[in-house]
Amino acid sequence: MFEESEIINLILGLVSLVIVFYEIRKRTIPHFHLFFAGFVCVVMARIFTVVEGVFLGGILNILEHLCYAFSALLFAVGCISLSKKRSSELKR
Amino acid sequence: MNLIVFLDSFSTLCFGAAFYYVFFITEDHIYYQARFLLYILMGLYFFVGLTNIMEHAGITAYFDPYEEYLEILFMPFFLFFMYTLIAKLDLQKQLAGEVALKKALERAESEHRKSNAILAAIGDGISIQDRDLTILYQNEILKKMVGDHVGEFCFKAYEHSSEPCQECPIVASFHDGRIHKAERSRTTDKGTLYVDITASPLITQDGEAYAGIEVVRDITNRKRMAEEILRVQKLESIGLLAGGIAHDFNNLLTALLGNISLAKTYAASDDKVIAKLEAAEKASYRARELTQQLLTFSRGGAPVKKVMNVNELVRDSSMFSLRGANVKCNFVLSDDLWPVEVDPGQLSQVVNNLIINADQAMPGGGMISVSTENVSLAPDNPMMVAPGKYVRITVTDEGQGIAPDHLPRIFDPFYTTKQDGSGLGLTTAFSIIKNHAGHITVESGSESGARFFVYLPAAEAQIAEVSLQDEAIYKGEGRILIMDDDEPVRILAQEMLAHLGYNVISASNGEEAVELYRAAMQENNPFDAVILDLTVPGGMGGSETCSKLLAMNPAAKILVSSGYANDPVMAYYEKYGFSGIVPKPYKIQEMSKKLQEILAAPPKHQ
């Protein structure tokens, strides 16, 4: 059924997600949307991990891995774009 | 390949790529702490991906238990990463704010410097007062003018008054918001300062005057010069009047002195009559000296130099200047003083100015030392004066002395440290001495008073002896034309010349003289000599008549006669074509001698 580590992961993920959304709403943090999107995907993957133990195990497992893959893609694109941005653009 | 394996492989590849590209994220992009956290985050998932692939491949399940902990770590690390970014952004904003503030401060500082430079370059004093008339700002020029009074009431600081001045321009500008001007005199440590004030209000955005700015222009020199010009004009008017009086007086004296001298020749045998005539003659001479003083006072013309010993002149002028003063004079005059060629009137003026200067330096009384001596200046003398023999006149006072910073300027025109001084006395002295090819210097100690030195070049010529021969009457013969507008002088001259044996024809002006001369030439009976009065009111004067006569006869012998001894024509008579001068008033002896001289001399113009 539920593994303890998965529940902890989920709780941490959801709490972190709330904090991240709160901070995003509170402040404008430019140029890091891809990282936040990747983070959301990770949290979704955690949700799917927990839920797949209850129902639709196969599909949700695929969705979990898909979410990880998508988050990996977003992080990769985020890091590549950040490394190529010029400092002048960042300061703007 | 299984879809899960593909997705995990893709994830691992992407996290690997992300991990790789973090290398290229520099300090400019994110903080090194954030980059470090990003490394950990990407590294974590790259590692998780790798263990998953290994697990799928059946290589090992060794890392499976740790994978869960690693995933748990991801969340707090991501939060750290995010807060590090936020901190970075906050810092950037703060830095941007600081940079903007610094730039604004630099701009303000630059504007301040620019304003100060403009205020200093204006050259006028600037004062800013608030509505209570408290001085908020003074530029350096105004501080030099009136002293530093920032924080004081302007009426107290500038006008020494306990309440705001009547018709204060700055108060007026507060009331109507316009520019107002005023002229004021302000008492400072350096004396009275005359200033021209232009006041304008400083207005807020609401149109309220919160302060006023005064531009203060020092017009002391301008005012003093205007006063000086007025004084000089007055002096010129008085001089002109004095000159005119002296001229008329000279004509009267000519008639008086001439008749006395003539009477003396007629009454040669009667001792009592001669004694009375000589007394009258002496009085007339004194009157002649008076007219000469009047003419000197009128200051006109070039110096009329004569070779003389200056001891007597120095003594007389000094005593004359100190009449009524509480200052005594001590003379140390050299007995064997070399003669100098000077204009006595002008040198007397120099001595007067120096003595008056010394007297004013000792308001409480004291002693002025006046000395004359012979000095020889070497080629490398400190005054850079031409080497040679000089007569030095020294005037020393016992006053406070002259401040070292005033010394270089005391001979400058209009420079004076005295409240009512004209600044012309020493300048005139300097100018006169320079015209005599001499030099004037001053030295002063802080307590020993001032010492003026006047150097006059010693004359090569000897002093003309007033011999008994001068009193001789030289008779002669020939035709003389005399022109003078003054009838008594004309009649006297006629009688004098007739007594001397000459045949005399007279004219009352230049035109008549020219006609008579022309007629005589045409009749082949020319005049042997002509005596012309220099000044003829309303008619042709001596100079013009002389030119016309010389045009008719270049060999004409013409004497000029005038009471204006300082007139350039009298000083440089040869330049104007005359053969000699007979200054008025003249005696029969002087006239006879001069006629004798020119008639005996060969003609100058052929």
Residues of B in contact with A20 (CB under 8 A): 78-79, 82
Rounded Cα distance between B432 and B342, Å, is 10
User: What is the average pLDDT value for chain B, to the nearest integer?
Assistant: 83
3-state SS, residue B308:
strand
Residue B517 has pLDDT above 90, yes or no: yes
H helix intervals, B160-219: 169-176
The count of residues in chain B is 606
Segment B588-601 mean pLDDT: 88
User: Who wins on pLDDT, B151 or B246?
Assistant: B151
Query: Is the pLDDT score of A88 beyond 60?
Result: no
Per the model's pLDDT, the better-predicted residue between B428 and B315 turns out to be B315
Question: Does residue B387 or residue B289 have the better pLDDT?
Answer: B387
The closest CB to that of B42, out of A13, A79, A90, belongs to A79
For residue B468, what pLDDT is reported?
A: 44
Name the more confident of A63 and B35.
A63
**Subunit contact B15:A72, Cβ cutoff 8 A:** yes
Per-residue model confidence (pLDDT) at position B199: 92
Count of domains in chain A? 1
- pLDDT above 70 covers a percentage of chain A that reads 85
Inter-CA distances, A2 with B74, B79, B561, Å: 20, 25, 147
Q: Which residues pair with B328 in a beta bridge?
A: B367
Mean pLDDT of B317-340: 87
Find chain A residues with C-beta within 8 A of B47's C-beta.
Answer: none
Contact state of B79 with A5 under an 8 Å Cβ cutoff: no
State pLDDT tens for residues B483-501. 998 888 888 888 889 988 9
Question: Domain range for residue A30?
Answer: 4-91
CB B339 within 8 Å of CB B277? no
CB contact under 8 A, A79 and B85: no
Chain B residues touching A14 at Cβ < 8 A: none
Evaluate if residue A90 carries a pLDDT over 60. Answer: no
Predicted local confidence at residue A92, as pLDDT: 44
Please state the ipTM of this predicted complex: 0.88
Give me the residue label for tokens 């000469």.
Answer: B292
Judge whether B69 is closer than 8 Å to chain A, CB to CB: yes
- Number of Cβ within a 10 Å radius of residue B237: 10
pLDDT at B299: 53
pLDDT band at A19; cut points 50, 70, 90: confident
- The answer, for B56 touching chain A at a CB cutoff of 8 Å, is no
Residue A80 to chain B, least CA–CA distance (Å): 6
Q: Find out whether the peptide bond into B583 is cis, omega within 30 degrees of 0.
A: no
Minimum CA–CA partner of A3 in chain B? B68
Of the listed ranges B100-109, B268-277, B307-316, B474-483, the one predicted with least confidence: B268-277
Complete edge-to-edge strand list for the sheet that includes strand B479-483:
B503-507, B479-483, B529-533, B558-562, B580-583
Cα distances from B497 to residues A28, B151, B211, B549, B578, in angstroms, run 125, 86, 87, 21, 19
CA distance B586 to B563: 10
The alpha-carbon gap from B14 to the nearest alpha carbon of chain A, in Å, equals 5
Strand ranges in B477-591 using DSSP code E only, listed in sequence order: 479-483, 503-507, 529-533, 558-562, 580-583
Contacts of B56 in chain A (CB under 8 A): none
B96 touches chain A (CB under 8 A): yes
Q: Which among A45, A44, A39, A43 is positioned nearest to A24, based on CA atoms?
A: A39
Radius of gyration, alpha carbons of chain A? 16
On whether any CB of chain A is under 8 Å from the CB of B95, the answer is: no
Q: Which amino acid is at B153?
A: F
Is pLDDT at B262 greater than 90 in this prediction?
A: no
Contact A76 B14 (CB under 8 A): yes
Q: Is B369 exposed, middle or buried (0-12, 13-18, 19+ CB in 10 A)?
A: middle
* Interface contact B75-A16, CB threshold 8 A: yes
Residue B567 is predicted with a pLDDT of 75
> Do the Cβ atoms of B21 and A32 come within 8 Å?
no
> Is-contact B241 B249, C-beta < 8 A?
no
Quick one: CA torsion of B534, B536, B538, B543, rounded to 10 degrees? -20
Cα→Cα distances B291→A21, A58, B288, B386, B486, Å: 116, 143, 5, 36, 17
Model pLDDT, residue B371: 95
pLDDT, tens digit, 9 for 90 and up, residues B117-159: 887 777 888 999 998 899 998 888 888 888 888 999 888 888 7
- In this prediction, residue B302 carries a pLDDT of 55
